[in-house]
Amino acid sequence: MSQKVAVLGTGKIGEALLSGMIRAGWAPADLLVTARRPERAEELRTRHGVTPVSNTEAAKTADTLILTVKPQDMGTLLDELAPHVPADRLVISGAAGIPTSFFEERLAAGTPVVRVMTNTPALVDEAMSVISAGSHATAEHLAHAEEIFGAVGKTLRVPESQQDACTALSGSGPAYFFYLVEAMTDAGILLGLPRDKAHDLIVQSAIGAAVMLRDSGEHPVKLRENVTSPAGTTINAIRELENHGVRAALIAALEAARDRSRELASGKKD
């Protein structure tokens, strides 16, 4: 862990990654950060003991560059970095929808690039980070990316051709669960519960269900059937969900998210 790692464009996810790396054993002195606003950079120094630098300095001195700026800003950042990034630097992209070829075409020939799609549970060390290799990235580069992102959750290697699907499922995934909790909370209020009690009931049910899915080894259908007794309350609720096409709506929603990820990859903004 003596290699220097730079996080460029350090927002909430970038800061969560820094914090997780420090807890996992990285020395703050080996972590560099860049930020658009000087006050943000100073805040990161004060909070974590990391070293704020310019994008150019990061490119020249860090062994690994983690690019966490917004997808629409990535081209501008690469234009700034390209003259200063040696071909042996590992470049990790956290930008949704942008393929590794986008980076390889703008950086020195042979530069190893790894693409990572993480999600907001990185803020609580429960991220799902999906990792793919570019043309020049080796197994060692992938292992290094796993070591970094493993500090804030679970990692999974996939071919880059599957990244858009993973973005739809896990990158955007937390929002779907928040949406479901929001709707269930409204239902609880309609049924006569105070908002805070409805919220507590739903959140704990969600946590319990997630732990069962993770730890039991059972298929979700089996777990659902265990709750669904004949002529009971649950089967009546499931019938209404099916009548309203909830399953089909979820499939269509994820297809739409995947398609938008592909559009971002092709440079379409609107």
Name which of 176, 166, 184 is nearest 237 in CA terms: 184
**What pLDDT was estimated at residue 231?**
96
**What pLDDT was estimated at residue 1?**
47
Helix runs in 49-107, H state only = 55-61, 74-81, 100-104
Give me the amino acid identity at 178. Answer: F
Distance CA 1, CA 23 (A): 12
This prediction's pTM: 0.91
Which pairing describes strands 31-34 and 5-8: parallel, antiparallel, or unpaired? parallel
Contact 134, 151 (CB under 8 A): no
Distance CA 99, CA 101 (A): 5
Contact 44, 18 (CB under 8 A): yes
Distance CA 220, CA 58 (A): 45
**What pLDDT was estimated at residue 263?**
85
Q: Return the exposure string of 113-126: e unless at least 16 CB atoms fall within 10 Å of the residue's CB, then b.
A: bbbbbbbbbbbeee
Each residue's pLDDT expressed in tens, for the chain with a length of 270 residues: 468 999 999 999 999 999 999 999 999 999 999 998 999 999 999 999 999 999 999 999 999 999 999 888 999 999 999 999 999 999 999 988 899 999 999 999 999 999 999 999 999 999 999 999 999 999 999 999 999 999 999 999 999 999 999 999 999 999 999 999 999 999 999 999 999 999 999 999 999 999 999 999 999 999 999 999 999 999 999 999 999 999 999 999 999 999 998 887 776 665
Query: What is the edge-to-edge ordering of all strands in the sheet holding 51-52?
Result: 51-52, 31-34, 5-8, 64-67, 90-93, 113-117, 127-133, 153-157
